[in-house]
Amino acid sequence: MLSSDHVHSYLDSHLGERQVNKIQHGFPSPRYWNELSVPIDEIAEDRRRLREAEGPYPVHLYVGVPYCIQTDPGKCGYCLFPVEEFQGNAALENYYGYVEREAEMYREQLEGSVLAGAYFGGGTSNLYKAPVYHRLMDMVRRLFPDIREDAGLTLEGIPQLFSREKMEAIRDAGMNRISMGVQQINERLNSFSGRKQTTKHVIQSLEWARELGLAANVDLIFGWPQQTVDTMLEDLETLVSWDVYDITHYELNVGGPTDFALNRYHELPSTLANLEMYRAGRDFLLDHGYEQLSTYNFRRPGDPASRDFREGYTSRFEHVDSVGLGYAAITFFGNPALPPGRSWSYINQRSLAQYKAVVDNGRFPIERGFRHAPEDWLLMVLFRSLISTEIDVSQYRAAFGFDVREKYGTVWEALAERGLVEITPEWIRLVGDGPFYAPMISTLIAEERYRELREEAARRKKESRGPATVSRSGQ
């Protein structure tokens, strides 16, 4: 357990740092996923055994598309995800054929599972022409003949690429929800991304979704270059006036060789201003009848087409089975009932050419993965609980056999002293500014394990170099 002095020192040095959207949906960071050979047959056998022991269990599906429309600056100025520039419909349909072939490889090992939810992301999934949405759902139904009645089947897209024809095809195919990456309604601020989206595009897409009975989520980003609290609140006021029931309001992540990092960093709001934006946005939404479902997700009750959109991907606390199909897609699989070392995270090829080449060879297009030790799986689940802003103590005791309050007691106590968490016999809840600091809290909780992983990575690197050569002089 971390010492109390260390925890307080850590908080003193990190509370003033930029938090950004570093909340991790899994542990550890993919930079530590160094296993080049992921035993997919072993994972398939574990899936079968779990179904035999527990009956059908829920699986979540992610289907990715690599393409985005070209922007100036590139990648909307800030995006850090691996994407390819859209080359036209022929290339997109060719790619989708590979996704169908990859899905077929999973069909036998997923037989008997229940689909709890699916997310079609990317990239930009509403680049597809209308008929392809039926093909997408046909592929899903071949994998999962049993789809839960309350399953959220969500397609992500950008407003200017929706049309009524596409939206109708999305609904008729069986999808029930769209998620729109609006980012900024303010057209001047949005222009920094190079995207051609207008307010009219957003309004029209929302009207089509409402008319066709599709639930709709809107993503907004705060901490944008030149953004102020007032311009941010104007965007939120606009969404509320349009009767948007689900809003994801998250902090801009700036880094890498992006235009925002290289050319607009000086225009970003300060760390303190970002915290002020979080508070103002949260309070505004709560005052207008929204509930905070997770660190960045807010919902107003009463949507006739409502679909669950909580962060995290599991319907059961201890079990995670989230299958990723397509370029750069990620799969998470694990359960405390499995033997140690049988839980995995892995990512598909992040080179589109390599993804296709591996599928052409009849193999799963996995690039690399991480074999979880029991401590890693605990942190995986704990990170997801932090995203939801609350930790159910009894669930952790049942799944892992210990009191999570005691295991990380010094962390919870220090956070409680600073008004960031509330501790009861049944729950640990992020309160006040706690959700804003969830990235820092998760990193603090995992600090010791991350240090071990860094040391292990350094040892592997040293071993891969082999013994040092000796010079002829013997020096």
Helix (H) or strand (E) holding 428: strand 427-430
Q: How far is CA 80 from the centre of its chain?
A: 13
298, two tokens = 């807010």
Q: Where would I find the beta strands (DSSP E) of 271-387? A: 291-292, 297-299, 320-325, 330-334, 343-348, 366-372
pLDDT along the chain (475 residues), means of 10: 95 88 70 95 96 90 97 95 93 97 97 95 96 98 96 96 98 97 97 96 97 97 98 98 96 93 96 96 98 94 76 58 96 91 96 98 98 93 91 92 95 98 96 95 95 92 69 38
Which string of DSSP letters, residue by residue, matches 232-288?
HHHHHHHHHHTT--EEEEEE----TT-HHHHHSGGGSPPHHHHHHHHHHHHHHHHHT
Residue with tokens 């960071």: 29
The CATH code for residues 33-299 is: 3.20.20.70
228: Cβ contacts below 8 Å, ≥ 6 apart: 269, 273
N-term to C-term CA, the chain: 44
251, two tokens = 């902090």
Question: Residue ranges per domain, the chain?
Answer: 1-19+390-434+437-455, 33-299
Cα torsion through 448, 449, 455, 456, rounded to 10:
160
Quick one: pLDDT at residue 474?
39
Q: Do domains 1-19+390-434+437-455 and 33-299 have the same CATH topology?
A: no
- Contact at 8 Å (CB) between 348 and 357? no
Question: What is the Cα gyration radius of the chain?
Answer: 23
Return the CATH number of 1-19+390-434+437-455, one of 1.20.1530, 1.10.3470, 1.10.10, 2.130.10: 1.10.10
Distance between CA atoms of residues 271 and 228, nearest Å: 12
Distance between CA atoms of residues 3 and 226, nearest Å: 40
The pair phi, psi for residue 256, each rounded to 5°, is 65, -165
3-state secondary structure of 377: helix
Distance between CA atoms of residues 435 and 139, nearest Å: 37
Quick one: pLDDT at residue 85?
94
